[in-house]
Structure 1
């Protein structure tokens, strides 16, 4: 088999066989083909798509590239397709675990302009994101909640492809996203899977039609591998939370768990309710009431602390930059929208995300939005605070185009 022939075949919109997919992707994993050839194949897939058969086959190739975890009880997992300021995992995981529903999750790093759960967890000093299979099982059995990065042995193929997609403009391919998500969920032993599909300017998926197509794709993969799944489709034109940036987002999630009102809370309750509804076989309404109960009693926050401490983290040592630039309104009016994509781009420019595989993240930088959509503002009002590592950072008018005021 020849990688060039496989690239040309996909360039010509032809279906790749299981063997061709296995050869191409496993050859890359073994470093038998270079980045530039895999990048060409990923771009051909991104432009021309994949059939459902190809997508299921690629998911299987990913799963079989490494270890598969098995638990002696039913396990819940959740995934968001990514959005700007999406810190839902930090809120729903302790809610679900506080209700005695076991949750084991493998999370990813930042992709494109959306932050990654693992990058956010690494902003907590001491938190151990890399766990061996034995450590993963031990923490799961100890407290019923564990979130780690992929080990080198679990879906190793996805790990290397994920990094390459991030810097080759191939993050938005639905089949590649579907294979990436589902391979990790299945290999990590999930019984019940809830996928929060974001669409809009601040998400990889731009339209509701694409979101529906993606939902159908995920359901077909889950059915093929005999997993129970629910998909929730939510718009993502505005950032989900008031903070964009790793440490800033963790701090905001903690505030929500302590009782702060936020759009983030409502989205989190919705996702958590679906997980609990599946696991306990009750209505979503009943499940939501249980979620609110553990939030109000601070049981979810106590579980959050227990989880972070058990995994080595020290919440008292989270730091954000003390260098702040204020973004002021140049006009009076009402904020009609906040451009989530531009917020994500600016956060990356400040150092909160990666532009290359080798980029180092600054966990303390980011953006705090002080006004939301619908807020009335006067000229000179502070709209946002930019947490930076260099007060002399060069920012253009385009970089700062976050708010539309009418």
Structure 2
């Protein structure tokens, strides 16, 4: 109602944060509500986001911001389900297809996995884009379809409805265009408001650091992981995080259809060692938080249980698990100029190259090419011979190869036996929670 007296003055709140002050719980609650209603203008919220970016927030403010964003929309409830629920969130990286094998693997133990996922923007791929390369598969489910599938199959990967944390959606759109994305208070509250609103009983976070990660610095990634675990636990969600290395692409496939192919290899008991290692580690964490610390995760990959659940999950959403995946019109192979050891494979450059090939989008409404991407034939530490293929670029438009190759210049290197390998160390650096 116009003319109604508002509890606070937006400019006072902007000044308080600009000058390094703290906002009270009442101020944060009012701010998010007034922004959602359209009373606080985008310009004002942008100024506040920049003040938060520059000056940070206390733990209490971050908790208040998260709870206020949850309160801006609806909360999902799984009380009617006969089984515990567990979810996973990754901060995103290059070749990160872990959700695909992980959701059916965990569900094969009788734990429901309601995985609300998004589309890719920039160099990190989106889970829904990957799955949409399966003929017939659809991301949009009604609430009834969503709950029925959780009950019958146990895992759902689909698009989030607009009713969850609408304040976050509005704020994220501003952060994206105002240079305020990489703020720990804003990242933590954005991720956790959506995840807590989803109503899952247990949550495992895969917080990445390194070249291809959102936050390059391991100490900042750890701070983000600790903040999010605390937010989850404060809200009554059993929460843990793994701090994982994203200096090198994950697995051998970067793109959409090729990442689905690699995920199916993992579910069939094969696949690259790093993808298997991370899938198994995250599954163990999810199952432990859901009350099954003794679950034999590797056995479920070996005996076909996880694959059965995958097939049921894809079929339930209209997809054909046996259909051929899209194939690229053109490929370009890069070979080793000399024999030696691959010492470097920089995740960010390979992610940007896949994006330039058509695997990602620059604006949220852009289409993606499902067959575009990169297949790696060697990883850092592998021996290569002169003329061996190092990686294959795929695209429907050969004109894109030059720009992809441009960004890969200097992103990989071949050295001699005994040279240092630039991979940033072990895949899983630590566990928090």
**Same-fold status (TM-score > 0.5):** yes
Superposed, 1:286-365 pairs within 5 Å as 286-287=294-295, 290-315=296-321, 316-365=323-372
SS in 2 for 1:337: strand
Residue matched to 1:238: 248
Residue matched to 1:217: 227
Residue matched to 2:283: 272
Cα deviation for residue 291 of structure 1 reads 1.0
The correspondence for 2:412, drawn from 390, 403, 406, is 403
Cα deviation for residue 180 of structure 1 reads 2.0
Check whether the contact 1:333–1:405 (CA below 8 A) recurs between aligned residues.
yes
Deviations 1:53-100 (A, max 9, x none): 121111112211211111124211111121211111111111111111
Residue matched to 1:254: 264
Cα deviation for residue 30 of structure 1 reads 4.3
Check whether the contact 1:106–1:184 (CA below 8 A) recurs between aligned residues.
no
Check whether the contact 1:91–1:253 (CA below 8 A) recurs between aligned residues.
yes
Q: In 2, Cα distance between the equivalents of 1:92 and 1:245? A: 18
Q: In 1, Cα distance between the equivalents of 2:320 and 2:220? A: 40
Q: In 1, Cα distance between the equivalents of 2:58 and 2:70? A: 19
Residue matched to 2:97: 87
Cα deviation for residue 373 of structure 1 reads 0.8
Deviations 1:179-211 (A, max 9, x none): 122222211111111112211112112233223
Deviations 1:272-297 (A, max 9, x none): 01111222343xxx33xx11111111
Cα deviation for residue 5 of structure 1 reads 4.7
Residue matched to 1:109: 119
Deviations 1:158-178 (A, max 9, x none): 234344444544332222221
SS in 1 for 2:413: strand
Q: In 2, Cα distance between the equivalents of 1:199 and 1:321? A: 31
CA pair 350-22 structure 1, distance change in 2 beyond 3 A: farther
CA pair 326-34 structure 1, distance change in 2 beyond 3 A: farther
Residue matched to 1:391: 398
TM-score, structure 1 normalization: 0.90
Check whether the contact 2:210–2:247 (CA below 8 A) recurs between aligned residues.
yes
Check whether the contact 1:164–1:357 (CA below 8 A) recurs between aligned residues.
no
Q: In 2, Cα distance between the equivalents of 1:126 and 1:18? A: 47
SS in 1 for 2:221: helix
Q: In 2, Cα distance between the equivalents of 1:348 and 1:27? A: 37
Q: Which runs of 5+ in 2 are unaligned?
A: 1-7, 416-433
Alignment of 1:15 onto 2:22: yes
State which structure, 1 or 2, has the greater radius of gyration over its C-alpha atoms: 2
Cα deviation for residue 34 of structure 1 reads 5.9
Cα deviation for residue 364 of structure 1 reads 2.1
